[in-house]
Amino acid sequence: MTFEKLADTLKALADPTRLKIISLLRIRDCCVCELVPIFNISQPAISKHLSRLKTAELVRETRKGQWVFYSLNEKRLAETGLALSHLPDLSEHLKKLEEQGLLVTCE
Amino acid sequence: MTFEKLADTLKALADPTRLKIISLLRIRDCCVCELVPIFNISQPAISKHLSRLKTAELVRETRKGQWVFYSLNEKRLAETGLALSHLPDLSEHLKKLEEQGLLVTCE
DNA sequence: TTCATACATAACAATATGGTTATATGGTGA
DNA sequence: TCACCATATAACCATATTGTTATGTATGAA
């Protein structure tokens, strides 16, 4: 996972409302109208949060008649948590700096 | 960790430049002037990123003579990754909705 | 003291974010 | 077909984010 992609996913997670939605979806799938009364924000606001989570592939949607149910992509969420402990390696960057004499040593 | 606090920490992480800084600090402590030539942004921009990471307690700073060295708070980073798999439980919220007859069942 | 270097802060601008209300879309059922 | 319900989208606004340049502050050395 690139730094840019991971940053995008973390941005999708970095909001209390969206984290709460994810926590709720861990219990069971929910449709939009169930989520609205939990938060003190409008239905379009909830829709936009869900859309943001969907773009980040953190949730999936399934239409069931009138309702659209959202479900958690547990795999994607777990991946993201793990990615923080396995960031791409930048050792070569430091090597290049060394070659250019840009590293500071002051111990 | 509350949803709000976790969201703040994730916001601090949700930027490619800051993720790269963290990846570099994993290799070794760096001072600001070492980080500047790696990124195509100004010294004040780097300072602000480091300040953001420091506020989130993801890095610590130590002055050594002219230089200020930043080091990674590995514990805080690991904690944050794990927190995604252990979000606060919202089961009671769902229960309250059930009592209020706000849950949808359409299977 | 005086100058240079490393870093932080201030003031500003462009864009992103997260909310609102109004409206469009799509499915259900009389 | 028509009305209704659930959801999405559009247009808008306030604030946050992320960069810039200019300037202030702290340390080290002449």
Query: Which of A3, A6, A46, A91 to probe by mutation at the B interface, max B CB count within 10 Å?
Result: A3
Which structural domains are found in chain A, ordered by start?
Answer: 3-99 (1.10.10.10)
Closest partner CB to B77 (pick from A24, A84, A97): A84
pLDDT, average across residues A62-86: 97
| pLDDT of res. B95 | 84
Confidence of residue A107 (pLDDT cuts 50, 70, 90): very low
Separation CA A106–CA A18 (nearest Å)? 45
A60-84 residues labelled b (16+ CB within 10 A) or e (exposed): eeeeeeeeebbebbeebbebbbebb
Q: Is the model's pLDDT at A44 over the cut of 70?
A: yes
Task: Determine whether the interchain pair A37/B77 forms a contact, defined as Cβ–Cβ distance below 8 Å.
Answer: no
Residues B28-42 have pLDDT tens digits of 999 999 999 999 999
Tell me what percent of the residues of chain B surpass a pLDDT of 70.
Answer: 93
Confidence of residue B107 (pLDDT cuts 50, 70, 90): very low
Residue B85 amino acid letter: S
